[in-house]
């Protein structure tokens, strides 16, 4: 499968890794070189959000027959600035929206109006764990799942409450903007096939902090940093063991190359004995190709600075984004930029919620910043974000069957990332609940190493059709690791 991305690169079918490794963050240089200080400023990335307060609907506009006292709010048809993704937010994240949200949109340029489309209202099961800094942030808002509608310039919305509606309902209209063109000197070299070797890299010595602040520009060649903001350098530096600074993708490696890369990666002293023990029979699969945040056009200026890590990765939770299936793989970077902006600007999260994303063509994308090989703390499975990773498949799979490329991509990605921490994809792992509607805080729960979101929270996610494919993903993932 191919996806036309900013760099028009195909996803290489590669996968998986099995040695427990603690990867570390590049240390900041003591002072930026004079040449770096003189670099031109990074261009401002496009994208915007329109936030429109909802209004009580009059009798003439009521179309859903709401219960007495429940209330109905919405907006009549209106012209708006261009947008591609919609969602609804409200003031208190602890108050759920029990009801129905429907929108219809007009295609940009005077096109036809769509039929009414349902917006998934049950979104509280996503997000940071209770009691964490992100989970208790004052900027948090309640929110529906976002819905991708494509290029539009007109909107109508109606919200019916089965109970009293939350206060402060607002319609969020997100324009992802156009992805900036990648600078030639910062993109990775053209691929020559799955057995290619990774480009040589000269990264500085690294330490292993639990959490890092913003990194100043390092003593790299000015050409490698030209036009990059400090936040972009920071987001790229944590992948420096895998790809050059500013790369738009991390290359796929063969199994042998992956094993060699792992042996050469900086490690904490705590894992050296475990690595030596596993060296006799390492369950390492090929590193998959991953489109970086730079590759899908993430605006690094809107997320919170620095990164937050958990200790290890014991399980992978698979989600669907519930954004609908009406996108092309060429549009997937735009979908990601829209979800990212909705998570940060509309919902109040520190960054994109998921650690990785997979589109319908099987392309794998870096999600939350902090390093694809590192145990980055996500906001994906409420109560179980610690010591886990979250993978969002772009689309809605309640009634639609995911393409085979999706299942294969999930298998390859999990085989590699779980393998970094010595986890058997067909095995089970124990996680401690941070609080949720299935398991009380402090409860130790056994999960499949590749689990669905619904295993940790009472939710439809990742949709019945995708959930039914997780057994296949587990088997394939273990095979990619070379397990019997």
| pLDDT tens, position by position, 360-400 | 999 999 999 999 999 999 999 989 999 999 999 999 999 99
% of the chain surpassing 90 pLDDT: 63
Task: Please tell me the total number of residues recorded for the chain in this structure.
Answer: 484
Helices then strands, counting H and E runs in the chain, come out as: 10, 21
Best mean pLDDT range from 54-68, 87-101, 246-260:
87-101
| pLDDT tens, position by position, 220-275 | 544 556 678 999 999 999 999 999 999 999 999 988 888 888 887 765 433 444 45
Q: Regarding predicted confidence, which is higher, 432 or 124?
A: 432
What was the pLDDT predicted at 14? 37
Q: Is the pLDDT of residue 86 over 80?
A: yes
Q: Is the pLDDT of residue 25 over 80?
A: no
Q: Are 45 and 180 in contact (CB under 8 A)?
A: yes
Pinpoint the alpha helices (H) of 285-423: 293-296, 332-341, 404-420
**CB atoms < 10 A from the CB of 41, how many?**
8
| pLDDT tens, position by position, 146-168 | 999 999 999 999 999 999 999 99
What was the pLDDT predicted at 198? 36
pTM, 2 dp: 0.81
Out of 87-96, 276-285, 443-452, pick the least confident. 276-285
* Band (219; pLDDT cuts 50, 70, 90): very low
What is the rounded average pLDDT of the residues 298-306? Answer: 95
List Cα–Cα distances, 229 to 121, 203, 244, 342, 343, in angstroms: 36, 19, 16, 22, 22
Residue whose pair of structure tokens reads 């040695």 in the numeric block: 19
What is the rounded average pLDDT of the residues 186-203? Answer: 35
Q: Is the pLDDT of residue 287 over 90?
A: yes
Residue whose pair of structure tokens reads 């509608």 in the numeric block: 149
Q: Are 420 and 313 in contact (CB under 8 A)?
A: yes
What is the rounded average pLDDT of the residues 131-145? Answer: 87
Q: Is the pLDDT of residue 183 over 50?
A: no
């Amino acid at each position: 499968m191919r996806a036309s991305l900013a760099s028009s690169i195909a996803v290489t079918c590669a996968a998986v890794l099995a040695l427990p490794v603690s990867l570390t963050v590049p240390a900041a240089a003591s002072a930026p070189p004079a040449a770096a200080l003189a670099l031109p400023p990074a261009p401002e990335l496009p994208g915007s959000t329109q936030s429109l307060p909802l209004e009580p609907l009059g009798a003439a506009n009521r179309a859903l027959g709401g219960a007495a006292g429940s209330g109905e709010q919405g907006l009549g048809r209106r012209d708006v600035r261009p947008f591609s993704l919609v969602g609804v937010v409200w003031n208190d994240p602890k108050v759920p929206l029990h009801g129905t949200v429907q929108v219809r949109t007009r295609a940009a340029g005077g096109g036809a109006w769509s039929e009414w489309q349902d917006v998934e209202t049950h979104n509280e099961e996503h997000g940071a764990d209770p009691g964490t800094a992100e989970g208790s942030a004052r900027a948090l808002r309640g929110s529906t799942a976002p819905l991708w509608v494509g290029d539009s310039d007109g909107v109508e919305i109606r919200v019916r409450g089965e109970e009293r509606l939350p206060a402060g309902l607002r319609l969020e209209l997100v324009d992802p903007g156009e992805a900036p063109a990648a600078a030639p000197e910062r993109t990775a070299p053209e691929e020559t096939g799955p057995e290619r070797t990774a480009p040589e890299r000269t990264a500085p010595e690294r330490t292993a902090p639990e959490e890092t602040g913003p990194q100043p520009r390092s003593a790299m060649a000015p050409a490698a940093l030209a036009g990059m903001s400090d936040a972009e350098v920071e987001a790229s530096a944590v992948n420096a063991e895998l790809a050059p600074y500013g790369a738009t993708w991390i290359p796929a490696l063969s199994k042998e190359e992956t094993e060699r890369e792992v042996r050469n990666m900086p490690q904490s002293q705590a894992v050296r004995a475990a690595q030596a023990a596993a060296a006799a029979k390492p369950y390492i699969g090929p590193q998959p190709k991953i489109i970086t945040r730079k590759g899908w056009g993430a605006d690094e200026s809107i997320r919170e600075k620095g990164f937050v890590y958990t200790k290890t990765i014991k399980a992978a939770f698979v989600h669907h984004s519930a954004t609908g299936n009406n996108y092309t793989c060429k549009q997937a970077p735009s979908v990601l930029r829209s979800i990212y902006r909705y998570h940060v600007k509309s919902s109040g999260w520190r960054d994109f919620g998921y650690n990785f994303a997979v589109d319908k063509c099987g392309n794998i994308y870096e999600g939350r910043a902090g390093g694809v090989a590192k145990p980055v703390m996500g906001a994906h499975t409420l109560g179980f974000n610690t010591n886990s990773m979250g993978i969002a498949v772009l689309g809605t799979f309640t009634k639609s069957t995911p393409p085979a490329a999706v299942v294969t991509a999930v298998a390859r990605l999990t085989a590699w990332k779980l393998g970094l921490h010595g986890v058997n994809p067909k095995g089970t792992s124990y996680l401690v609940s941070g609080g949720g509607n299935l398991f009380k805080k402090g409860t130790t729960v056994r999960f499949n190493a590749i689990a669905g979101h619904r295993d940790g929270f009472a939710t439809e996610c990742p949709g019945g059709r995708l959930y039914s494919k997780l057994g296949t993903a587990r088997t394939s993932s273990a095979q990619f690791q070379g397990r019997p």
